[in-house]
Amino acid sequence: MKVEFNEVFPINENRNQNVSSSWFPPALDILKLNVDAAFSASSGKARYGMVVRDSTGKICLCAVSKEEDANTVLHAELKAILFGLKIACNNFTETLIVESDSLLAINKIRKQHDTLCEWGSLITDIVDKSLDYGTCYFHHICRSANVLAHNIAKLSCETEDFMIRRESVPPTICNHNIIYESYRLRKKK
């Protein structure tokens, strides 16, 4: 399974190669899940944000969550990916593209060689949950292409422990125009 997984999800360890600086909508009939974590090393608290959008850029679902026991930034980023996959799986089972601005987390998932380390069970859980979809791809993107998930993660510190919204983001996240700003800029080119 490991070889097949790596063939389907080629590893990109070069930060400058094929990393989008703008959010792009997925192809027709594919959904895109963007996830991010906000982590405080001093408190060990993490906040997770996720947003699912379709090929038109329309928000299908977003969610936030808090957790008290994250150990590292990598641990929080991996938990954010698993959180996003679990929430999305309860609502969608189509082809899914998972995007995160954590290159280390994406590469750990793609390689699957660290299953005995402290975050190994998380990697296994992520891979197992990805099998619930018809097809699931993992992509690294830069922070500017992941700003909506980042803002949702930051919001969770001001909300309840858990919240899901369908077809919209909380109004305190950002102006509706900002959500589609990078999409509109890309379409003009």
The 10s digit of each residue's pLDDT in 94-151 is 789 999 999 999 999 988 766 667 778 889 999 999 998 889 999 999 988 888 888 8
CB contact set of 123 (below 8 Å; sequence gap of 6+): 78, 108, 109, 112, 114, 115
Region 46-59 average pLDDT: 91
Q: Label residue 160 by pLDDT band (50, 70, 90).
A: low
CB 63 within 8 A of CB 165: yes
Q: Rounded distance, CA 104 to CA 100, Å? A: 10
Considering the entire predicted model, what is its pTM?
0.79
Q: Is the pLDDT of residue 23 over 80?
A: yes
In this prediction, residue 116 carries a pLDDT of 61
